[in-house]
């Protein structure tokens, strides 16, 4: 399968203050697994190499050869994307990474914290379209920070907000504790402290759990070794290659997790 694509930006929709939904048409559309990601060119190379690197984003949704990426604007690169104009030609590479496991039945519980919805959404959609029963737990600090609430509605999310302005009052992990059963499998994406709590819950209940991690990376296909993490046994794992989805038991939340958040 071809892994480098010429993309054309078809729309940039601003969603709330710091989120955008980027749509890119790819004429030679690659097949992907939910949870996989692609790298998006930002610079106007070869005229400019600033910002230099492509940026990794989970594939949010795809229809009719248009790939959507839900992006939180956090720095220079993502701001530059927010300033893209329709019709811009960009290099898109991927899909990369493993994606979510195909089978998480009998009782998949998907926990998405904040921007974490971007990487689990395609997975939720897949379960939904296959008619597999699941529970989607979706948390944010306030109801105002919930992303795309209208779109999410059809997937019947259980909402949590830290301030109680909507749904469960408290952390998403608090809500998660009330929903899991002995036969649940948790799939989660969100900030590192949240993922650490999710792992603790899964371990305590002895249930399966998959975490989708985020990392800085230069290449996306396993050669730069910029995204390498150390697992609980101290072995190296590339987030881009062996991940971004890991069995929670492998994931170590050491100094690195504290530093990033």
Q: Return residues touching another protein (CB under 8 A).
A: 3-4, 41, 43, 45-46, 49-54, 77, 91, 93, 215-219, 221-230, 234-236, 255-256, 259-260
* Min CB(178)–another protein separation in Å: 34
Least Å distance, CB 97 to another protein, is: 14
CB closer to another protein out of 162 and 231: 231
Judged on CB neighbours under 10 Å (0-12, 13-18, 19+), 101 is: middle
We find the least distance from the C-beta atom of residue 252 to another protein, in angstroms, to be: 11
The distance of closest approach from Cβ of residue 175 to another protein in the complex, given in angstroms and rounded to an integer, is 30
When the beta carbons of 10 and 252 are compared against another protein, the nearer one is 252
Q: Please give the Cα distance from 4 to 261 (Å, whole number).
A: 32
Residue 57 burial class via C-beta count within 10 angstroms: exposed 0-12, middle 13-18, buried 19 and up: buried
Nearest CA to 230 among 218, 213, 210? 213
Greatest Cα pair distance, the chain, in angstroms, is 56
In the complex with another protein, the residue whose CB is nearer, 70 or 217, is 217
- Shortest reach from residue 239's CB to another protein, in Å: 10
> Residue 256, Cβ neighbours under 10 Å: how many?
13
Q: Which is nearer to another protein, 84 or 230 (CB)?
A: 230
Helix (H, G, I), strand (E, B) or coil at 61: strand
Tell me which DSSP letter residue 229 carries. Answer: E
First to last CA, the chain: 36
Is the Cβ of residue 54 or residue 209 nearer to another protein in the bound state? 54
Residue 82 C-beta: closest distance to another protein, Å: 17
Buried b (16+ CB within 10 A) or exposed e, 193-213: bbbbbbbebbeeeebbbbbbb
Q: Which is nearer to another protein, 155 or 221 (CB)?
A: 221
R_g of the chain, CA atoms, integer Å: 18
């Amino acid at each position: 399968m071809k892994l480098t694509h010429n993309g054309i930006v078809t729309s940039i929709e601003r969603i709330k203050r710091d989120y955008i939904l980027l749509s890119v048409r790819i004429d030679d559309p690659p097949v992907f697994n939910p949870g996989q990601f692609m790298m998006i060119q930002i610079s106007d190379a070869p005229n400019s190499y600033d910002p230099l690197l492509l940026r990794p984003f989970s594939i949010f949704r795809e229809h009719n050869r248009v790939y959507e990426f839900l992006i939180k604007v956090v720095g220079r690169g993502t701001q530059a994307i927010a300033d893209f104009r329709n019709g811009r030609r960009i290099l898109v590479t991927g899909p990369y990474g493993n994606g979510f496991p195909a089978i998480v039945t009998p009782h998949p519980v998907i926990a998405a914290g904040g921007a974490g919805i971007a990487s689990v959404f395609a997975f939720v959609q897949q379960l939904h379209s296959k008619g597999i029963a699941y529970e989607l737990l979706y948390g944010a600090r306030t109801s105002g920070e919930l992303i795309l609430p209208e779109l999410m509605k059809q997937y019947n999310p259980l909402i949590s907000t830290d301030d109680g302005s909507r749904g469960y009052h408290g952390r998403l992990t608090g809500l998660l504790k009330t929903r899991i059963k002995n036969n649940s499998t948790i799939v989660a994406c969100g900030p590192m402290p949240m993922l650490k709590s999710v792992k603790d819950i899964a371990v305590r209940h002895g249930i399966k759990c998959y975490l989708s991690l985020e990392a800085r990376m230069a290449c996306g296909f396993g050669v730069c070794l910029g995204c390498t993490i150390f697992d609980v046994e101290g072995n190296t794992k590339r987030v881009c290659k062996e991940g971004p989805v890991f069995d929670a038991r492998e994931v170590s939340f050491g100094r690195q997790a504290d530093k990033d958040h």
